[in-house]
Amino acid sequence: MKSLIAKSLILSTIFIGTFACSNSEDDDLVWLLSVLNQPEGENTVAGGSESNSSNSAENDASEESRPFSIVVNDVIGTPDFIFENTTEYPLRIQIRDPFDPVSGAMVQIRELNPNGVQSVIFRAISGEDGNISGTFTIPNREEAFVLLEIYYLGEEYFFEINLRDVIAVNRDIFIFLENITQVDNPDRDGDGIPDHLDDYPDDPTRATKVRIPSEMYYTVAYEDLYPQQGDADFNDYVVRVVNEEDLDAKGEVVRIRGFYTHVAKGAGYNHTLHLRIPGEVSGEYSLVRKRPDGSVYFNESGNLNSGGSIMLLPESNTTISQSNTDPGQVLSIGDSSEYELILSGSVSRNNLIKAPYDLYVHVSNTKKDIHFLGLYKNPDGSDKYLDPNGFPWALLVPGDFHWPLEKKNIHDGYPKFFNWYSSNGVEASNWYETTNPAFLFSY
Ligand SMILES: [Ca+2]
Ligand SMILES: [Ca+2]
């Protein structure tokens, strides 16, 4: 795995081509027959093709990846802009050998982070129909790539997916099984995921641990005047969040964990932090709350019914010792909480919203809840949490978000924030990396 980025860059040179659609299975077969001797056809990209041995880069690639072909049926478009800095991509992959469906092939998606760290963000084995479906989520980037890897009978196939303008990944992959002898990869728990790729090699109910985000944490900041317009300082209640999802071998979610740390309270109001996971999600949870020194001061366990919620942190005037919004302060983090939810049945990733799910604050003074955009509608269909100026009350930023100081606002501290939202997210997708520190809480 040491040179996967290099390998994927090499392969991406092979994948230059026109991505187009095949609309029926018959078309696929006709197409496939026509390109078996001509791997880079108009409707396809071919990977690791041994027939293209004149190019040294391709020779390198062919040492790593078996030959295969792909029909790209990705859905192209622009998602609705709702002030999100992460994007969830539905995924559907079908694998054939090249005519019959291949069951038991393992597919995983790796995030290619700019710093070179790679993390598995989805993994599943194909069913009887050769299909895999699920979703994966990555932070918005101008250059968004993931790596798709397939393991089958001891062979590895992989290629890079450029997510530019893609809103759903949908690909048919044709592999060629002649000359492959079956290799027995150890699989102690018999879940179909070989030990060396199984995050839980002795637990047949779990195969993969997905950390969201794959690096650091999300910072979630709330404005608490709802339904009155906020002052855009996004420091009234600030919490750092990490989620983990355990997937079974089919890629369905079986456990969810969350880790939350209160980091700022630039408000006179008090708040409590809550979690709801929309959909048919139920199970047993355990929750602990900790002081900043790590000592546990609260724990509980119970049943979460579908539609129910968990209070993660109590009144915000008890969970942090200072506001962390004054320029004279040194960051002093507040309490944290952690939960694990063991689902009563596995849930398809496609039937769950992306992490951190419906994470919201309840404002004790106004008795109002404050949620992300995209979750709650007014009777007329408009978003309940979009203010008259088209602005949200909750914002999620990947990594270290330096929230504005008291009496400053996000425009002062983040000069590209306006470009980002006024272009509906088309420009300045990394707006939060350009700061004006004089207006922001430093730590
Ligand atoms: Ca296993
Ligand atoms: Ca396992």
Instruction: Evaluate whether residue 384 is within a structural domain.
Output: yes
| Same structural domain, 421 and 314 | yes
**Residue 227 one-letter amino acid:** P
Helix (H, G, I), strand (E, B) or coil at 9: helix
Write the Ramachandran bin of 83: left for phi over 0, alpha for psi from -120 to 50, otherwise beta.
left
Q: Which ligand is nearest to the CA of 200?
A: 2
| Nearest by Cα to 58 from 69, 47, 43 | 47
Q: Compute, in angstroms, the gap from residue 125 CA to the centroid of ligand 1.
A: 11
Cis peptide before 98 (omega within 30 of 0): yes
- Angstrom distance (rounded) from CA 345 to CA 255: 9
Instruction: Evaluate whether residue 261 is within a structural domain.
Output: yes
According to DSSP, the β-strands at 309-313 and 271-276 are antiparallel
Instruction: Evaluate whether residue 360 is within a structural domain.
Output: yes
Residues measured by CB to lie within 5 Å of ligand 2, the ion: 189, 191, 198, 200, 203, 207
Q: Which ligand is nearest to the CA of 186?
A: 1
Q: Which ligand is nearest to the CA of 187?
A: 1
Q: How far is CA 178 from CA 24, 93, 150, 181, in A?
A: 25, 22, 17, 8
Q: Which ligand is nearest to the CA of 194?
A: 1
Q: Compute, in angstroms, the gap from residue 157 CA to the centroid of ligand 2.
A: 22
| Same structural domain, 176 and 251 | no
Q: Compute, in angstroms, the gap from residue 191 CA to the centroid of ligand 2.
A: 6
Q: Compute, in angstroms, the gap from residue 248 CA to the centroid of ligand 2.
A: 7
Q: Which ligand is nearest to the CA of 195?
A: 1
Helix (H, G, I), strand (E, B) or coil at 342: strand
Instruction: Evaluate whether residue 80 is within a structural domain.
Output: yes
Instruction: Evaluate whether residue 198 is within a structural domain.
Output: no
By residue range, what is the domain housing residue 146?
4-183
Q: Compute, in angstroms, the gap from residue 189 CA to the centroid of ligand 1.
A: 5
Sheet holding 309-313, edge to edge: 309-313, 271-276, 358-363, 368-370
| Same structural domain, 226 and 175 | no
Q: Compute, in angstroms, the gap from residue 110 CA to the centroid of ligand 1.
A: 19
Residue 424 token pair? 């509906």
Q: Compute, in angstroms, the gap from residue 321 CA to the centroid of ligand 1.
A: 46
Q: Compute, in angstroms, the gap from residue 71 CA to the centroid of ligand 1.
A: 30
Q: Which ligand is nearest to the CA of 188?
A: 1
Where does a domain end: 183, 200, 226? 183
CA angle 229/310/382 to nearest 5° reads 35
Query: Residue with structure tokens 């071998």?
Result: 249
Instruction: Evaluate whether residue 200 is within a structural domain.
Output: no
Q: Compute, in angstroms, the gap from residue 123 CA to the centroid of ligand 1.
A: 12
Helix (H, G, I), strand (E, B) or coil at 219: strand
Instruction: Evaluate whether residue 192 is within a structural domain.
Output: no
Q: Compute, in angstroms, the gap from residue 236 CA to the centroid of ligand 2.
A: 42
Contact by Cβ (8 Å): 68, 173: yes
Q: Compute, in angstroms, the gap from residue 347 CA to the centroid of ligand 2.
A: 17
Q: Compute, in angstroms, the gap from residue 89 CA to the centroid of ligand 1.
A: 26
User: For residue 49, what is the domain's CATH number?
Assistant: 2.60.40.1120
| Same structural domain, 178 and 218 | no
Q: Which ligand is nearest to the CA of 204?
A: 2
Q: Compute, in angstroms, the gap from residue 3 CA to the centroid of ligand 2.
A: 26
- Angstrom distance (rounded) from CA 48 to CA 69: 9
- Measured N-to-C along each axis, helices 56-64 and 4-14 cross at an angle, to the nearest 10 degrees, of 120
To the question of pTM greater than 0.85 for the whole model, the response is yes
What was the pLDDT predicted at 176?
Answer: 86
Q: How far is CA 180 from CA 31, 64, 127, 130, in A?
A: 24, 15, 21, 18
Task: Collect all residues with Cβ–Cβ distance below 8 Å to 388 and sequence separation of at least 6.
Answer: 229
- pLDDT, averaged per 10 consecutive residues of the chain (443 residues), comes to 35 32 45 47 39 30 68 94 97 95 96 86 97 97 93 90 96 86 85 95 98 97 94 95 98 98 96 97 98 98 97 98 97 98 98 98 98 97 93 96 96 97 95 97 96
Q: Compute, in angstroms, the gap from residue 6 CA to the centroid of ligand 1.
A: 28
Contact by Cβ (8 Å): 6, 158: no
- Angstrom distance (rounded) from CA 22 to CA 172: 10
Q: Compute, in angstroms, the gap from residue 388 CA to the centroid of ligand 2.
A: 49
| Same structural domain, 348 and 223 | yes
Residue 390 token pair? 């088209």
| Same structural domain, 145 and 291 | no
Q: How many domains does the chain have?
A: 2
Helices (H), 352-427: 410-413, 417-422
Where does a domain end: 168, 183, 198? 183
What was the pLDDT predicted at 177?
Answer: 81
Q: Compute, in angstroms, the gap from residue 209 CA to the centroid of ligand 2.
A: 10
Q: Compute, in angstroms, the gap from residue 108 CA to the centroid of ligand 1.
A: 14
Write down how long the chain is: 443
Question: How many C-beta atoms lie closer than 10 Å to residue 321's C-beta?
Answer: 12
| Same structural domain, 247 and 349 | yes
| Same structural domain, 238 and 162 | no
| Same structural domain, 22 and 148 | yes
Q: Compute, in angstroms, the gap from residue 192 CA to the centroid of ligand 2.
A: 8
| Same structural domain, 286 and 178 | no
| Same structural domain, 309 and 374 | yes
Q: Compute, in angstroms, the gap from residue 124 CA to the centroid of ligand 2.
A: 11
| Nearest by Cα to 354 from 114, 135, 119 | 135
| Nearest by Cα to 138 from 159, 117, 163 | 163
What was the pLDDT predicted at 15?
Answer: 37
Where does a domain end: 183, 199, 232? 183
Contact by Cβ (8 Å): 312, 274: yes
- Angstrom distance (rounded) from CA 37 to CA 86: 41
Contact by Cβ (8 Å): 289, 313: yes
| Nearest by Cα to 428 from 142, 218, 221, 162 | 142
- Angstrom distance (rounded) from CA 67 to CA 51: 9
| Same structural domain, 360 and 432 | yes
**Residue 141 one-letter amino acid:** R
Instruction: Evaluate whether residue 201 is within a structural domain.
Output: no
Q: Compute, in angstroms, the gap from residue 199 CA to the centroid of ligand 2.
A: 7
Q: Compute, in angstroms, the gap from residue 354 CA to the centroid of ligand 1.
A: 26
What was the pLDDT predicted at 27?
Answer: 52
